[in-house]
Amino acid sequence: TKKAAVIGAGIAGIASAIRLAVKGYEVDVVEANAYAGGKLSGFEDVTPDGQSYRFDAGPSLFTMPHLVDELFKLAGRNPADYFEYTRLDETCRYFWDDNTRLTAWADLDRFGKEIETVFGEPAMHLHQHLEASARKYAVTEKLFLHRSLHKLSTWFNRDALIGYLNLPRLGVFGTMNGANERRFDHPRLVQLFNRYATYNGSDPYQTPATMNIIPHLEYNIGAFFPKGGMISITNSLLKLAEELGVRFHYNTYVTEIVTKGKLAVAIKFTSQAGRLLNQEIATSNSIGSEVSVVVSNMDIVSTFRKLLPNARQPERILRQPKSSSGLIFYWGIKQQFTELGLHNIVFSTDYRAEFNALFGQNQVPDDPTIYLNCSAKLNPDDAPAGCENWFILLNVPNNTGQDWDAIIARTRQRIVQKLSHMLGTDVSSLIETESILDPRSIEARTSSTQGALYGNSSNSRFAAFLRHANFSRQFKNLYFVGGSVHPGGGIPLCLLSAKIATDLV
C-alpha cells in the first residue's frame, strides 16, 4: 500500500488524513501534543470544591458546516451519525459603552428592522451589503477557495474568466472600511461590518474590500453551533479517521523532513513526551523511508525553518507580516446573565485607534473590543448550575517580544472594568476559575509563528498570492495544509486546504 505521513493533528491535518485514507493510503499522523485538534481543542477548569467548567480553547464560531459533513460523506458515512449542529437564530449581540445594544438576528428581515430601530439605518443598506457580499463570494469561491492558486489550470478555464470579468466588483482596490463607509450611514454599523476583518486577523482600514465576502458566510449561509461545543468537530473527525485506520502518534514532535533529490523520503521525530526536548534526541525510529506522501500541517514558516533548513526557503512568502494574535481569558463565572448570548461583542469607542495600536504600533489597545463567548448558553453542561463559562478574546498584535505579563495584568483590569460597567455588577468577584492563553503560549502549543492566528496577514491586496501553495515546488511528494497556507486561516479554509492538497496528490 501507498503510505502517507501527516505532520500535526490540527483540523487540516486530520482532514488530510481522512482524505488520504479514503484514497487508499495507509496514514500516520504525528502530533507533538498529547491531544488532537491543535487550536481546535478543549479543556476543563475545576474549582477547589470540584465544580467543573468546560472550554473550547480556540475557535468559537462555526460556519460552513457542509465542509465537515463532506468528509463523512466522502468516507461513505452519514454525517448525522457522528456530528450534529444547529443554525443559530441570533448571530451576535453587540454592546457599546453608552448602553446601546443591538442583536444581529439570523432572520435578515428582523435584523434589518433592528438596525432601523436602534440606529435609524435603512434596512435596505443591510440587504444590499449582504447581496454584494454573496456576489463577491460566488466569484472568489471558484477562483480562490477550491483550487490551488499556483497551478496554471486555475487561471485558464471558464470560472477564471468569469472571475477576471468581475474583478472590478471584488473591491481589490479599495479598503473594507472605505466600502463600508459608502454603504452605511451610521458609524456603528460601519464598525460592526469592519469587524469582519478580524476573522482573518487583518485591519479593516488596510485589508481590501474583497474581504467583505466574510459576512456572506455568517449571515447568508449561517452561523452554527455543534452539539457538545466546538470540540465535537475535532472529536467526530478524529473518530472517523481512526475508523478509517489512520494511526495517530501523540507526544511526538517531528524534527526533520528528510529529503533526497526531489523527494521527501522520511520524517524524523522525537518520541519523548513534550516538544520542548532537545531536538538532537531525534531517534532513528522515523516512520520510514517508504513514506510516499508527506503532508505538513505545521505552520509554513516553522516547516521551512525547522524541518527543512537546508531546502531553498521561499523568503518572500515566509517574511510577510503576520496576522494578529489573540489574548484569551477563560473564566468560570458563578452567576448567569440574561443580557448575554452565545456570541457577544463589546465594542471599543474608537475603532480606528484600536487598529492603529494593533497594526501600527504592535501594541494592545487601551480600549480593546471584547469578544465574549459563553457556550453554556447552548450547552448547559459546560458550566455548573447557575454559572457561565466565559471565553474572552481580544485581538492583540502577534508576538514581537512585548512584555506580555505586564500587558495581561493591565488588560485584565480593563476588561473587568468594562464588563462590570456593562453588566452593572462587579465581575471580578464572580471569577471562580481562570486560564489564560497569549501569543507566546499559542506559538508554543501549535507552532504558529509569532502566535499569529491566521498565518500571514491579509492587509495587502496581494495577500492571497503571498500565502504558500498547498504543494512544494522542490519536493514532488510534499504538501502543505492549515491556516498558514492557501487559502487561509479559520476552520472552513483549513478544511479546504486539505481538499486542495489531497486533490493534487
Cα distance between residue 303 and residue 450, in whole Å: 14
58 vs 163 by CB, closer to ligand FAD: 58
Q: Where are the alpha helices (DSSP H) in 285-364?
A: 300-302, 315-318, 351-355
- Report the residue from 265, 442, 463, 500 that binds ligand FAD according to the rule CB under 6 A: 442
CB of 42 or CB of 59, closer to ligand FAD: 59
Q: Round to whole Å and give the CA distance between 187 and 351.
A: 10
CA 335 vs. chain centroid, Å, equals 29
Question: Segment near ligand FAD (CB under 6 A), from 30-38, 93-101, 418-426, 467-475?
Answer: 30-38
Could you check whether the bond before residue 487 is cis, i.e. omega within 30 degrees of 0? yes
Closer residue to ligand FAD, CB minimum distance, 30 or 416: 30
**12 scored as a contact of ligand FAD (CB under 6 A):** yes
- Binding of residue 179 to ligand FAD (CB under 6 A): no
* Size, binding site for ligand FAD by CB under 6 A: 36
Q: Whole-number minimum distance, CB 162 to ligand FAD, in Å?
A: 27
Angle at 464 (CA atoms; ends 321, 184), nearest 5 degrees? 90
SS3 call for 276: coil
CA distance 349 to 333: 26
User: According to the binding rule CB under 6 A, does residue 211 interact with ligand FAD?
Assistant: no
- For ligand FAD, the closer of residues 332 and 487 by Cβ is 487
What the block records as the C-alpha cell of 463 is 495577500
Cα–Cα distance, 115 to 171 (Å, whole number): 25
Query: Of the listed pieces 52-60, 155-163, 394-402, 418-426, which binds ligand FAD according to CB under 6 A?
Result: 52-60
Residues 6, 20, 21, 32: which binds ligand FAD (CB under 6 A)?
A: 32
330 binds ligand FAD (CB under 6 A): no
Binding mask 235-274 for ligand FAD (x = CB under 6 A): ------------------xx--------------------
* Site for ligand FAD contains 297 (CB under 6 A): yes
From candidates 209, 346, 427, 491, binder to ligand FAD by CB under 6 A: 491
**With respect to ligand FAD, which residue has the nearer C-beta, 226 or 384?**
226
Please say which residue, 140 or 375, places its beta carbon nearer to ligand FAD: 375
Which amino acid would we find at residue 210? Answer: T
CA distance 289 to 345: 51
393-412 binders of ligand FAD (CB under 6 A): 393
Candidate list 5, 17, 60, 500; residue touching ligand FAD; CB under 6 A: 60
SS (H, E, C) 198-251: HHHCCCCCCCEHHHHHHHHHHHHHCEEEECCCCHHHHHHHHHHHHHCCCEEECC
Contacts of 274 (CB under 8 A, 6+ apart): 251, 253
The distance of Cα 64 from the centroid of its chain, to the nearest Å, equals 13
Separation between Cα atoms, residue 150 and residue 129, nearest integer Å: 31
- Smallest gap, in angstroms, from Cβ of residue 38 to ligand FAD? 2
Q: Shortest approach of ligand FAD to residue 93 CB, angstroms?
A: 16
Which residues sit at the interface with ligand FAD, rule CB under 6 A? 7-13, 30-33, 38-40, 58-61, 253-254, 297-298, 326, 328, 393, 442, 446-448, 453, 482-483, 489-491, 494
